[in-house]
Amino acid sequence: FKTTFNMKDYKSTLYVAAGACSYGLLATIVKYANHLGIHTSLLTFLQFMFGFLFLLAFNLFSKRSAKEHNVIKFSSKIKLMVWGISLGLTTTLYYLSIQYISVSVGIILLMQSIWISLVAEAVLLKKFPSKGKITGVIIVLLGTTLATNLFQNNNNLDYRGIILGFGAGISYALAIYASSTVEKELPSSVRSQFLVLGGLLLIVAFWNMDIIRYMQVNAIPWGLLIAIFGTILPPLLFTKGIPKTGIAMGNIISSLEIPVSTLSAMLVLQEVVSGFQWLGILLILMAVIIINFCKS
């Protein structure tokens, strides 16, 4: 394989990988907080509210970002906010899905964005994937059937969790696309601010009165924690790294969420992950490597 690699490529890959690992911890934290009696609506709202406030403050106190912030077009703000809806939708659907299925299965469904993004790239950019990438997609689907225990007759998969999880995967592919293409000439922190604001507005519209109904003070530390790992770090890291790695590569690197999420669920939530599931995860990661080396 003929590849070119420089320090910028290395840093961009690390940015996306760090964002993916950060995302991988979210579901476990949210489900643990749910077990403590904190409602998903409140956790989701606090995550995006704290994230938006942090990014707003960061941009106001950053001279370069503040200067660019003042000259950003109104149309650009609206465009980013509209695309930011995908962030809020991904989070909402994902957190709802793990109410019905395990975290280890939920992350597999979320990561269907690996092949969904390739389909989107083919349709939107008229860039048909190579045979190698198509082979990788087939392996991803095979790995998914194993990782979700579809071959076992005694599996207890709730159809509601499956639908919500797959919906999160579609929305996640859109979020990755937004991080890669929308107004990428702006600083990553400014772009992240309006993307997160769009997500926050979606969450307020979706949950509305439930946010107030389930309000409790002890939810604030948990909301702040998932804001750091889910709304502050990942958008900054993704908007900084994905424009250089590309849409497909960004989704490929983000598959690191799978082992991180699965391991954290095993350690913290005591979820049982079978050998078949680990084999499925291994197949998906193998597919990631195959797709990674298929440049065209």
Q: Amino acid letter at 79? A: K
Q: Is residue 13 over pLDDT 60?
A: yes
Q: Is residue 24 over pLDDT 90?
A: no
Two structure tokens written together for 51: 């994230």
Span 141-153, mean pLDDT? 76
Query: Is the pLDDT higher at 196 or at 248?
Result: 196
pLDDT classification of 2: cutoffs 50, 70, 90: very low
**pLDDT at residue 49, rounded to an integer:** 95
Span 115-122, mean pLDDT? 80
Residue 242 CA to residue 151 CA, distance in Å, equals: 35
Residue 294 CA to residue 296 CA, distance in Å, equals: 6
Q: Which residues contact 43 (CB under 8 A, 6 or more apart)?
A: 30, 33, 34, 95, 219, 222, 223, 226
Q: Is residue 61 over pLDDT 90?
A: no
Q: Is residue 218 over pLDDT 50?
A: yes
pLDDT classification of 133: cutoffs 50, 70, 90: confident
**pLDDT at residue 115, rounded to an integer:** 83
- At 3-12, the pLDDT tens digits run 444 555 678 8
Query: Is the pLDDT higher at 124 or at 89?
Result: 89
Span 169-185, mean pLDDT? 82
Residue 114 CA to residue 118 CA, distance in Å, equals: 7
**pLDDT at residue 168, rounded to an integer:** 93
Residue 229 CA to residue 150 CA, distance in Å, equals: 31
pTM for the full predicted model: 0.84
Mean residue pLDDT of the chain comes to 84
- At 88-111, the pLDDT tens digits run 999 999 999 999 998 988 988 988
Radius of gyration (Cα) for the chain, nearest Å?
19
**pLDDT at residue 251, rounded to an integer:** 66
pLDDT classification of 31: cutoffs 50, 70, 90: very high
Closest CA to 178 of 226, 231, 117: 117
Span 73-99, mean pLDDT? 92
Span 79-90, mean pLDDT? 92
